[in-house]
Structure 1
């Protein structure tokens, strides 16, 4: 039970420390929409989504109003479309019709984003999966709310380097296809290793095949709450620091649990998980970077940054799992450069590079996120960066992801404006030494020895 003291504390965090529930995401299975006729598939998909999620946004608004807890986004995730559209789609253009159907369904239900235009190719690609992947630039250029993800590796299967090479090309093609909009399509495209089935955050959300017909997953946030708590223990030892983060994460997760349970009850949809991820925004005071600097770093990127992030990530998880029996998704600290004012400032002052961000991803739950790079960056270099992040995820048995935005017409020293929660970003320098011969080898990097646990 949530008592009156917790309600009071939650209200204080909302009013003074920018606490919000970042998203309520309804997962919807589209497996019963599979058909060999493309028109039938599109009609079934539209009908299923609009029927299942017709009350999602209104219920979210009701909960906001009644409890005073801001719910920033209402979203939908669906079964990976490569599976759903496979029997009916025989070309990339066929898959694009499904992307447009998803977009229309998202608009009809008034959700912010819909995720699941996805393919899971960690070991190999079917013709349908390859067609979906090749359709991504067209799909993201012709839709507004559809998000795409591709899982190219896992600890159990290794890394599909053919898919890694293809995704470098697809990211570049997506940048070109959306160049008139600051290459925005790449902001809606994530490449994963060890992608979770129950992630409520975009752009990587999809409804896993092990999930039920519908489910409600909630993503909480609260970097501002954690930073304010740490201000009160400035100069204390690490034991006090850890306890403060842990207790604060507990309180934030309780708020998310309340919203999740209310949404589940009112919609008549089972509750899935609460994702504990600290998700920043461009707003001042809502930054993961500022938390790390409050721990004693002059700037994110300074020596000690990776250790501070490891501490933060671990204590958030420890506090969160005591507050909810069902924790899942990514559950850690997001490091999206364009969405975190502290990260932007660190890049601008020269303290934070892509290489340092890569080191930081070894100890947090995500990867290289919302990083703007020169539009001239080669597809092979993008593939190399994807391979590096996938290797970190594969070896460390954790989720890693890459969301790079090669902004056409921009170079190091320029800035790109995305708007809204996506913020703005400086164009970051990329190592230009070639990895093309490595990427062109083809085949798979095998799973690590510690993956064999049967």
Structure 2
């Protein structure tokens, strides 16, 4: 039972400390939409999404009003489109028509993003996969709400370096086609290793083929709540610090569990998971970097940052799994640059570099996220950065991702404006040493020895 003290405490976290449910994400399987006729396929997709998700936004709004819990986003994830479009799509342009259909469906039901314009190519690419990947720049330039993700590696299969090379080129092309908006298309494109099937957070969400026909996943947040809690234990030892984070994560996750169960009941759709990631926003006081400062670091990026992040991630997960039996998705601490004012401050002060961020991804929830780089960065350099991040995920048996934004026409010292939750980002310098010969080898990096567990 939730007692009155918990209610009062939760109200305070919402009113003063930026606690929110970041997203209710409705996962929808499109496997029963498959058809060899492209027009019929698009109609099936539109009808399925607009039917299953017709009450998603209104349900979220009703829960917000009744419980006083802000639910920032209502979103949809779908079966990877490379699997759905294979029978009907003969060209990349055919896939673009599906992207437009997804956008229209998202507008119809009122969600802010729809994720799953995706392909899973960690071991190899089918013709359908490659057509979808090559369609991504156009698809993201002609839609507003569609998000794309490509899984190019896993601990079990290794890293598909052909796909890594191609994604470097695709990211640059997406940047060029949306250059009038500071290359915003790249903010909706993620490259993964070990992508989870049940991630509610964009841009990497898709509905895995092992999932039910429809599922409710909830993503909670609350960096501001954790920071506020740590203010009360300044100077205390690490044991006290860890206990404080763990107890706070428990309370945050309880809020997410409540919303998830309520949405599931009202929509008569099974509850999937609560993702308890600490996802920052550009709002003052809603920053993971500020948690580092409260722990005792002058800036994110200072010596000790990776250790602080490892501690934070572990305690968030320990607290969260006590509050919900079904924790999934990514669950940990996000370290996006553009979406976290404290991270932005650290970059602008010269204290946080791309290399330090990469080191931090060994222990964080995702990877190199929402990082703006010079628009003249070579495709092979982008592929090399992706390969490094995929290797971290593969070897450490964890999810890692890359969301780089080469901002066309801008250089180090400039900044890019993305707006809303995406915020703004200073352009970060990139190592200029060539990796062309490495990236151009082609083929696949084999899975590590510890992947062989059968």
| TM-score where L is the length of structure 1 | 1.00
Counterpart Cα distance in 1 of 2:308 and 2:87: 48
Aligned equivalent of 1:352:
352
The alignment partner of 1:339 has SS state of coil
Tell me if 1:246 matches 2:260. Answer: no
Q: Residue 208 of structure 1: CA displacement?
A: 0.2
Aligned equivalent of 1:400:
400
Aligned equivalent of 1:38:
38
Aligned equivalent of 2:13:
13
Q: Residue 402 of structure 1: CA displacement?
A: 0.1
Tell me if 1:223 matches 2:223. Answer: yes
Aligned equivalent of 1:292:
292
Aligned equivalent of 1:335:
335
The alignment partner of 1:405 has SS state of strand
Counterpart Cα distance in 2 of 1:113 and 1:289: 26
Counterpart Cα distance in 2 of 1:5 and 1:82: 49
Counterpart Cα distance in 2 of 1:281 and 1:16: 15
Task: Give a deviation string over 1:249-288, Cα, whole Å, max 9, x none.
Answer: 0000000000000000001100000001000000110000
The alignment partner of 1:203 has SS state of coil
The alignment partner of 2:233 has SS state of coil
Q: How does 1:257-272 map to 2 (within 5 A)?
A: 257-272=257-272
Q: Residue 2 of structure 1: CA displacement?
A: 2.9
Q: How does 1:304-315 map to 2 (within 5 A)?
A: 304-315=304-315
Aligned equivalent of 1:113:
113
Q: Residue 319 of structure 1: CA displacement?
A: 0.1
Task: Give a deviation string over 1:427-452, Cα, whole Å, max 9, x none.
Answer: 00000100010000000000000000
Counterpart Cα distance in 2 of 1:176 and 1:324: 43
Counterpart Cα distance in 1 of 2:203 and 2:126: 23
Tell me if 1:278 matches 2:278. Answer: yes
Counterpart Cα distance in 2 of 1:302 and 1:107: 43
Q: Residue 98 of structure 1: CA displacement?
A: 0.2
Q: How does 1:30-429 map to 2 (within 5 A)?
A: 30-429=30-429
Tell me if 1:448 matches 2:432. Answer: no
* TM-align CA RMSD: 0.5
| TM-score where L is the length of structure 2 | 1.00
The alignment partner of 2:338 has SS state of helix
Q: Residue 323 of structure 1: CA displacement?
A: 0.2
Q: Which runs of 5+ in 2 are unaligned?
A: none
The alignment partner of 1:362 has SS state of coil
Counterpart Cα distance in 1 of 2:339 and 2:185: 16
Q: Residue 6 of structure 1: CA displacement?
A: 1.9
Q: Residue 9 of structure 1: CA displacement?
A: 1.4
Counterpart Cα distance in 2 of 1:205 and 1:335: 17
Task: Give a deviation string over 1:317-347, Cα, whole Å, max 9, x none.
Answer: 0000000000000001001100000000000
Counterpart Cα distance in 2 of 1:105 and 1:3: 41
Q: Residue 5 of structure 1: CA displacement?
A: 2.5
Counterpart Cα distance in 2 of 1:199 and 1:327: 11
The alignment partner of 1:168 has SS state of helix
Task: Give a deviation string over 1:286-307, Cα, whole Å, max 9, x none.
Answer: 0000001100001110100000
Q: Residue 412 of structure 1: CA displacement?
A: 0.1
Task: Give a deviation string over 1:39-83, Cα, whole Å, max 9, x none.
Answer: 010000000000000000000000001111000000000000000
